[in-house]
Structure 1
């Protein structure tokens, strides 16, 4: 079964036995605009500085890796999937993008996970809001794309990705994890408060506060008491956008609510320290965080 032949009805039928009891899944209809992006960013994003000499490049030898189409209630959402060649099934890790789209850095992250035995899938969650392949201004992306993505739609898109992975990608969603970077780190917190089937989540410098709106009604701090899966939060002490006090408050609130949350704050480390294509990359913290992420997934059954 190829991704081009998988339909929403096929997914619903194939994934039903695995998805029974997931009362956190979003199924309500949305007012859709249609998909603006039908494919992914080629290469690296044009919206930020790229330091080519330090970027990590993971080959696809021994993998099935490439762009896919993920059926949703209103059409096909582009995404990237990497997994080992072979029969499977493989533990599934959702990879939630930064604000810059599913570009080469996110794709490479999926391949790194696939080399370790995972089926890693990164859906292009902003495909309805704007064409990230053509945007070069960060503020435009924030204003015209990020602020216009309803959280309920994001959660529904992630649910659709889980179902697709189970039905068409040899994915074992009984061993389901999620990780994400920057805005995607916020998505990790929200998705771990949403989907009771998750085994674990790892949020890389995900914003904890921020503005609330009708379509984005809760911050990551607001949902800490609703977490349904253990969360590892990886943060930098020199992150100018996420104060250490807010990170510590998140940790303390989780503890008070009886939730399994571990927070790691790397000294003298800026925001975006895992993004190896950007000037913010800090290899020591990135490597340490990656090792902690893998250990977290192993501890909580995403292996």
Structure 2
């Protein structure tokens, strides 16, 4: 596999006909391949998120990361846009589904597409990944420590959302879950509940839990980073998408 790729910002026709910013990365070459939609974390559409999009291109996928906070603060720095989004109550679920659906459609329309698209997200993006996989035609989903999939949201929490327990029977694809045993949101008990609900609905899933790892253990620029957990997690993501997206 070569590492030559192209990457840059595009305009994406998203939910409600809105044009939003998105970051697209593609390997060189015209071979058919799967696509990956990356859902950024609550801190926003930042450098770390774009690096992850490029990493999927290096792995051989057409990859895109929509800027979910674009409407609240067009052209703003990631921290400012994230703050504006929080002040507005966060990304509404229906808008998230529309934006991710538009990103998946964009990937499938590329001449290199093999028709398969996966979705992945961290933190709030993990919950939104599960939401997308319950409502959109995607082929694989990876939830990296998504909070409030099964837990109730604290009343004073700045972002307005609801648990997704009632949507889990509609999950449309295999789900890979990666969680830290020292995390509080989601807690180990919340992960247990998610696993139980998936089992009851007969869904295909694969969960991995890491000791000495809390929230954001993939984040190389944070004290929460855990090398062993992140490296093992990336290997599992790579294998999971290879098995389900055909690249």
Query: Shorter-chain TM-score: which interval?
Result: 0.7 to 0.9
| Alignment partners' CA distance in 1, 2:211 and 2:246 | 28
Partner of 1:257: 201
The alpha carbon displacement at 1:217 in A equals 6.4
**Corresponding residue number in structure 2 for 1:118:** 61
Segments ≥4 residues shifted beyond 6 Å: none
Residues in 1 aligned to 2:224 and 2:84: alpha-carbon distance in whole angstroms: 19
1:75 aligns with 2:55: no
Q: Say whether 1:193 aligns with 2:134.
A: yes
Q: Is 1:159 the counterpart of 2:101 in the alignment? A: yes
Residue pair 2:70, 2:81 contacting (<8 A) in 1 also? no
Matches within 5 A, 1:292-303: 292-303=236-247
**Runs of 5+ in structure 1 lacking a partner?**
1-59
Does the Cα contact within 8 Å between 1:96 and 1:180 map onto a contact in 2? yes
- Aligned-residue offset at 1:278: 1.2
What TM-score, normalized to structure 1?
0.72
Cα deviation for residue 300 of structure 1 reads 2.3
What residue is the counterpart of 1:102 in the other structure? Answer: 45
Residue from 120, 124, 137 that aligns with 1:179 = 120
Give the secondary structure class of the aligned counterpart of 1:291.
helix
Does the C-alpha gap of structure 1 residues 235 and 85 become closer, same or farther in structure 2, counting only changes over 3 Å?
same
Corresponding position of 2:184? 240
User: CA offsets, 1:204-248, max 9 Å, x none?
Assistant: 0001224399x9664233322221111111010011222101101
Shift of 1:263: 1.5
Q: How far apart, CA to CA, are the structure 1 residues paired with 2:10 and 2:32?
A: 18
1:257-294, CA deviations, whole angstroms, 9 ceiling, x for partnerless residues?
Answer: 10112211111201000011111111110110111111
Q: Is the 8 A contact 1:232 1:261 kept in 2?
A: yes
Q: Distance in 2 between matches of 1:115 and 1:205?
A: 24
SS in 2 for 1:269: coil
Which structure has the larger Rg over C-alpha atoms? 1
Over residues 173-232 of structure 1, what are the superposed CA-to-partner deviations in whole Å (9 max), with x where a residue is unaligned?
62211111111000110111011x31110110001224399x966423332222111111
Quick check: 1:93–1:179 contact (8 Å CA) kept in 2?
Answer: yes
Q: CA RMSD in A?
A: 2.5
Alignment partner of 1:133 out of 41, 66, 77:
77
Structure 2 residues without counterparts, runs of 5 or longer: none
Return the offset for 1:74.
3.0
Q: Spell out, residue by residue over 1:118-173, the C-alpha distance to the aligned partner (whole angstroms, 9 max, x if none).
A: 011000012113465164697x456314x242111110111111222233x44526
